[in-house]
């Protein structure tokens, strides 16, 4: 087995645990599932967040609820194997869109590492509206920031100064000596601009869908990916979904897939076209009853996709 295949299989066998890859060489690109969840407060799944580790650096995509603690959980301090995710090294965040389930962790990403010693200012990339979000967070926490800067003088004066970079057009949005990050347009609700991100490193291509309905952008983003991390809705137990019942959100599956998200049937079709080496399901709307953790993997297979596919668990490594 190549190291990559071993990492994949180890991950599949030890769901929910950090995989014991045999080639954790410095520089090998890895994907760490920080949070595999949705707005549903499933205690086993943090809000959405994925880290790409390359060449000694960490790049985080989305900051759902609990993401800061998830980064810590994958560091050696807490039994993980990625020093790149240490709090003082969290400086690059990419937002797919500004829904709260993907952004409530942004204040934590900006402020808590700073209070614990990070000196480098975080750089936050995202669609139009990101600058207002960052500005608003810094304004909302001004008392805290002032206390820490001037109160007892323990806070440095650089690590809190988050810089927003609004991504208004597709293409290369970020590059350094470890990675090139490209944004591809997705389609989600009535947002005019939402992004999937494609990370290209010397050894791998990793694509993270964010939230999207099926669209050309995800086909373009996913082409040739080693790892495609994609959102998905199950269809077998669709009647159990809250959006089918709630008075404020009376939608059926057709509405949801037309406007918001991607069904297992649709994702199987996407995967057949883009042929990722590994498809990772996250932000799963798995309403199976009784609950079956791999229900959506089974649906994807049933819809005719026979490539490698796994259901993400928080802390998994690919
Ligand atoms: Zn969303
Ligand atoms: Zn979402």
- For residue 38 the two structure tokens come to 């949705």
Residue 11 pLDDT > 50, yes or no?
A: no
Residue 106 pLDDT > 80, yes or no?
A: yes
Residue 105 pLDDT > 90, yes or no?
A: yes
Cα 289 to ligand 2 centre (Å): 22
Cα 130 to ligand 1 centre (Å): 15
Q: What percent of the chain has pLDDT over 90?
A: 82
- Sequence-distant (6+) residues with CB within 8 A of 42 are none
Start-to-end C-alpha separation, the chain: 15
Band the pLDDT of 151: cuts 50, 70, 90. confident
Helix and strand element counts for the chain (H, E) = 10, 13
Peptide bond into 149 cis (omega under 30): no
Say which ligand is closest to the CA of 45.
Answer: 2
Q: pLDDT per residue over 212-243, tens digit each?
A: 999 999 999 999 999 999 999 999 988 888 77
Please, which residues have CB less than 5 A from ligand 2, an ion?
A: 101, 211
Cα 272 to ligand 1 centre (Å): 24
pLDDT number for residue 6: 40
Higher-pLDDT residue of 246 and 132 is 132
- Sequence-distant (6+) residues with CB within 8 A of 147 are none
Helix (H) or strand (E) holding 259: helix 253-259
Residue 153 pLDDT > 80, yes or no?
A: no
Residue 101 annotated in active site: yes
Band the pLDDT of 22: cuts 50, 70, 90. very low
- For residue 134 the two structure tokens come to 């960052």
Say which ligand is closest to the CA of 64.
Answer: 2
| CA dist., res. 311 & res. 247, Å (int) | 30
Q: What percent of the chain has pLDDT over 70?
A: 89
| CA dist., res. 304 & res. 300, Å (int) | 7
- For the chain, the average pLDDT equals 90
pLDDT number for residue 243: 72
Say which ligand is closest to the CA of 39.
Answer: 2
Q: pLDDT per residue over 42-58, tens digit each?
A: 999 999 999 999 999 99
Exactly one of 22, 77, 101, 177 is catalytic; which is it? 101
- For residue 148 the two structure tokens come to 């820490």
pLDDT number for residue 245: 64
Cα 30 to ligand 1 centre (Å): 25
Q: pLDDT per residue over 239-281, tens digit each?
A: 888 776 655 556 777 777 778 999 999 999 999 999 999 999 9
Q: Rg for the chain (alpha carbons), in Å?
A: 19
Cα 201 to ligand 1 centre (Å): 27
> Residue 213 in 3-state DSSP?
coil
């Amino acid at each position: 087995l190549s190291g990559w295949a071993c990492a994949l299989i180890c991950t599949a066998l030890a769901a929910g645990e950090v995989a014991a890859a045999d080639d954790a060489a410095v520089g090998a690109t890895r994907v760490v599932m920080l949070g595999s969840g949705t707005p549903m407060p499933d205690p086993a799944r943090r809000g959405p967040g994925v880290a790409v580790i390359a060449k000694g650096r960490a790049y985080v995509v989305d900051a759902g609820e609990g993401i800061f603690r998830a980064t810590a959980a994958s560091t050696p301090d807490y039994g993980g194997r990625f020093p790149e995710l240490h709090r003082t090294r969290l400086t690059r965040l990419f937002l797919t869109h500004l829904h709260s389930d993907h952004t409530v962790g942004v204040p934590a990403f900006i402020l808590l590492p700073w209070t614990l010693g990070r000196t480098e200012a975080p750089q936050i990339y995202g669609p139009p509206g990101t600058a207002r979000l960052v500005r608003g967070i810094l304004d909302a926490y001004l008392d805290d920031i002032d206390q820490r800067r001037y109160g007892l003088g323990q806070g440095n004066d650089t690590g809190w100064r988050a810089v927003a970079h609004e991504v208004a057009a597709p293409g290369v949005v970020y590059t350094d000596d470890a990675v090139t990050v490209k944004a591809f347009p997705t389609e989600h609700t009535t947002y005019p601009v939402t992004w999937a991100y494609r990370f290209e490193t010397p050894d791998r291509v990793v694509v993270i869908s964010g939230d999207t309905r099926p669209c050309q952008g995800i086909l373009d983003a996913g082409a040739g990916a080693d790892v495609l991390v994609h959102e998905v809705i199950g269809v077998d137990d669709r009647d159990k979904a809250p959006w089918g019942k709630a008075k404020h959100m009376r939608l059926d599956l057709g509405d949801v897939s037309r406007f918001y998200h991607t069904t297992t049937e649709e994702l199987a079709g996407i995967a057949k076209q883009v042929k990722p080496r590994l498809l990772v399901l996250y932000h799963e709307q798995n309403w199976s009853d009784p609950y079956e953790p791999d229900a959506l993997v089974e649906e994807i297979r049933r819809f005719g996709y026979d490539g490698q596919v796994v259901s993400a668990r928080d802390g998994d490594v690919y």
